[in-house]
Amino acid sequence: MSDTEEWFWDLDREKAVSGADRGPGDNTLGPYPTKGAAENWKATSEQRNESWDNADDAWNDWPEGPDGPPND
């Protein structure tokens, strides 16, 4: 994938930019495969965080059994 095919969310300019137009790495999120995906970075992040939180809850609710917690 070349830089022009990647999209980033520019935190300073608050808009999606192509890989060729992106600024410093610490001011961008990505890469994303499309401009629309870069523009929807917040929803993607919230969905990912919710999924991770649910996985953490499932892990913490796992019964310990006689030999202690899983992977102990």
pTM over 0.75: no
Give tens-digit pLDDT for 15-66: 999 999 988 888 999 999 999 999 999 999 899 999 999 999 888 888 765 5
CA–CA separation, 29 and 50 (whole Å): 19
Residues with Cβ within 8 Å of residue 31, at least 6 apart in sequence: 1, 6, 7, 8, 19
